[in-house]
Amino acid sequence: MTAAGMPKRPDYGIDAPGVLAMFFVVGVLCLVLGPFARPFTIGPVTFEFGHAPQIMGGIFLLEAVLMFVYVKHGKFRHRDRMLAQVSWTGNERVLDIGTGRGLLLIGAAKRLPGGHAVGIDIWSTKDLSGNAIERTRANVEMEGVTGNVELRTEDASRMTFLDASFDVVLSNLCIHNIPGRAGRDRACREIARVLRPGGMAVISDYRLTKKYAVVFAGEGFSVEWRGPFWGDTFPPLKMFVARKPS
């Protein structure tokens, strides 16, 4: 760590740190305490545990390992997969929604020698460890893309950008965190609004993606599906590319 408390190299955090910790702790407890579980009876029914606690413990620990592998390796591959959906000219104006520590944002910025990338977030540490605009700004500086990156604190469901402001919108594991169906639908319509005619959105999430796609289709977008990706994401992520009519 530097004197200012920032890492010396880019740090993209741990996704859903509370969930990862829960999987690990519950898994260990099940394995350690499972052998001591005793049968109990309620009325005429006797409940036998057998090896169920150990099996459940193994499942929880496996999920913890898969999440950790995604955090350390898989999300970088998935970033590249998302960015590969765009035929870059290098002059695009890009918006990354739920930018977190800037993984997608910085990846896009490196492809924009003549363009500009904007990242927005509400900086929730529940969704990403150490999520703070200062840490993202530090990653941007260390990755050498300060000149064409902008960070803002904005709610994706109530964006302040003008209509048709962006050529590309990116979002990974963000929209499901918006409370309520109405809020998530509004965020999708906001993405549609800020995209220019002919622009595209690349949206990735582990759930609710079909509902997002319905909103984009209702706005006249074409939708192309990718995934689910079982090999390097956990939970397995789905992705779609939504294109705005010209």
pLDDT in tens, 65-118: 999 999 999 999 999 999 999 999 999 999 999 999 999 999 999 999 999 999
pLDDT at 37: 72
Contact 169, 95 (CB under 8 A): yes
Q: Where are the beta strands (DSSP E) in 65-126?
A: 93-97, 116-121
Average confidence (pLDDT) over 218-234: 96
Average pLDDT, the chain: 93
Please report which confidence band the pLDDT of residue 6 belongs to, taking 50, 70 and 90 as the band edges: low
- Of 50 and 79, the structure prediction assigns the larger pLDDT to 79
pLDDT at 36: 79
Average confidence (pLDDT) over 201-218: 98
Contact 118, 96 (CB under 8 A): yes
Give yes or no for residue 58 having a pLDDT over 80. yes
Name residue 124's beta-bridge partners: none
Determine if the pTM surpasses 0.75: yes
Lowest mean pLDDT: which of 4-8, 23-27, 107-111, 127-131?
A: 4-8
Tokens of 215: 């909103």
Q: Select, from the ranges 10-14, 38-42, 165-169, the one with the highest average predicted confidence (pLDDT).
A: 165-169
**How many Å from the N-terminal Cα to the C-terminal Cα in the chain?**
48
Q: Which domains does the chain possess?
A: 17-75 (no CATH), 88-243 (3.40.50.150)
Render the burial of 94-103: b for 16+ CB within 10 Å, e for the rest: bbbbbbbbbb
